[in-house]
Amino acid sequence: MELTDLIAEGIVNKLSVLLKKKITVANAAGDALASTELSETGKNYEQFQEAMEKGEMEVSGPATKITLGSGLIVPLAYSNSRIGSVFIGDKPEEYNHYRHIIAATVELLIHQNIVTDSFPYKDKIKDNFIFGLLHRRLSVEDSKVREEAELFDINLNRDKIVVIINPEGFWEHLFGGNLTASEDEKQIALSAYKKKIFQALSSFFGRLAGCSVSYFGSDTFVALVEELYSMDGKEMVDAIRVKAEEFNRLIQSQFEPDSFKRLLIGVGSFYRGKDGAMLAYEEARRALNLALSIGEQRQLYHIDDLGMIATLAGGNKKWQDNFVRRLLVKLLTEEYLLETLEVFFDKNMSLTKTAQQIKIHRNTLLYRLDKIKKVTGLDPRKFNDAMELKVALILNRLLYLEKNKIKQT
C-alpha cells in the first residue's frame, strides 16, 4: 500500500483545519506529496526517511530546502506497515499536548480515504461494522467505534427501528450459476439492492432522517431506520405492522419476479437507549426464527404476534418484562381490573364464583371483563387469550419477586 497525492492532500486539509498548523505529508521515500506550504511539495527530506526508520521524532531549526523546520514527525501506518509520515510544524510545549492523538487521528483519516472510499469494499466494511454493533461485538461507548460510525454516516445518538428482510434463495438465484463472479461484481449487485430497499423504506415513511441497509449474508438484509422527527419509533413500528401486507408488497417489488422462494420480514419493537437497536434486532431475529420453527405464515413477523410462545421459548428478562408491560400496563394502573382478572382465573373462569368472591353483580363482572378486553386486546373468556393473560400475570409476579428479592415460601 502506497500513499497517493490525493490521499496525502486529504490528510493535510483535515489536519490543518484541526490543528491550524503547518502540515506536510510524505511517502515512504521521504518525498513530500502535499503540504500547507506549496513550495515544499515534491521535495525530498531526509528527516522523513529517518522518522520512517526510527519512529516518531522531534526536529528543530529553521526550514530550508533540505530541512522541515521545528516540529514533530509522526510515521504513518496502514495494515501494520509504515507507508509514510506527517510533519506538524509547532513548538514542543504545544505539540506535547496532542502528540499522542496524532497517530490515531491520521490512521482514522487514512482509513477513511483509503478503505471507506474504495468502492465496492466500502459497503462491505460498513456491513461488517453494523453486524459487529448489532451482535454486540462492538461497544457504542468506545470512542473509536463512535468515530468509525461517523465515517459511515451512522448517528449512534439517534434511536432506530430495525427491520430484517430475508428473500430466501436470493443469493443462489443471483450468483449460484456464476462461479466466476468477482467480489467486485457481488458487491456492486448488493449495493444496488440495498439502494432499492432504502428507496422502498423512503416511499413507505416519506423522507427519512437516516437509514442504513446492510447485507449480513444468508439472504439477509438488515435496515436501521432512524426515528423520524414527525413520528416516534413506536408509531413507525406500529405503521409497519398495521400495513404489513402493503409493506411486504413494497419490499417484494424491489426484487425481480421469481428471484427468491419466499419473502420473510421481521421487525423488532422500538427500544430507546444505547442498546435499543441491539434489542430490536435480537427480537426481530427471534420472531423470525420462532415463527419458522412452528410453521407460521405471515406477511410480517413481530414478537407480539407470537404471544405466549415467544415468552416461554426464551428466558430473556427484558423481553419478558416488555411482554408483561405491553399486556398489563393499563391494568397495573387500575388495580380493580387486575384483581378481577386474577380472581377470574383462580375460579377457573367461572363468572358466578368470581362475582361471589369479589362481591359484585354478574353484569358488573361482565362489564369489567369487556373493559379488560378493550385495554389489552385479549378476551379473558377465550382460551388462547386467557392463556396469554395468565402467563403475563405469572411473569409479572415472578419479575416483581425477583426485582424486590423476595423468596417464595
Q: Give 34-41's long-range contacts (Cβ < 8 A, gap of 24+).
A: 34/5, 34/8, 34/9, 36/12, 37/63, 40/68
The three cell numbers of residue 194 are: 440495498
What's the pLDDT tens digit per position in 209-237?
A: 789 999 998 899 999 999 998 899 999 99
Cell 396469554 locates to 388
Q: Residue 206 has what pLDDT?
A: 85
Q: Over 50: is that where the pLDDT of 386 sits?
A: yes
**What whole-number distance in Å separates Cα of residue 259 and Cα of residue 271?**
34
What contacts 178, CB < 8 A, 6 or more positions away?
none
**What whole-number distance in Å separates Cα of residue 249 and Cα of residue 203?**
12
Strongest mean pLDDT among 89-93, 293-297, 312-316, 329-333: 89-93
97-122: b or e for each residue (b if 16 or more CB lie within 10 Å)? eebeebeebbebbbbbbbebeeebeb
Are 133 and 277 within 8 A, CB to CB?
yes
Strands of the sheet with 263-267, listed across from one edge = 211-215, 221-226, 160-167, 263-267
More confident residue, 208 or 112: 208
The three cell numbers of residue 37 are: 506550504
Q: Over 70: is that where the pLDDT of 316 sits?
A: no
What's the pLDDT tens digit per position in 325-383?
A: 777 777 777 888 889 998 998 898 999 999 999 999 999 999 999 999 988 888 999 98
At 406, is the pLDDT very low, low, confident or very high (cuts 50, 70, 90)? very low
Domains of the chain: 5-116 (3.30.450.40), 122-314 (3.30.70), 324-403 (1.10.10.2840)
Strand partners, 14: none
Q: Residue 73 has what pLDDT?
A: 93
What's the pLDDT tens digit per position in 42-64?
A: 899 999 999 998 889 999 988 88
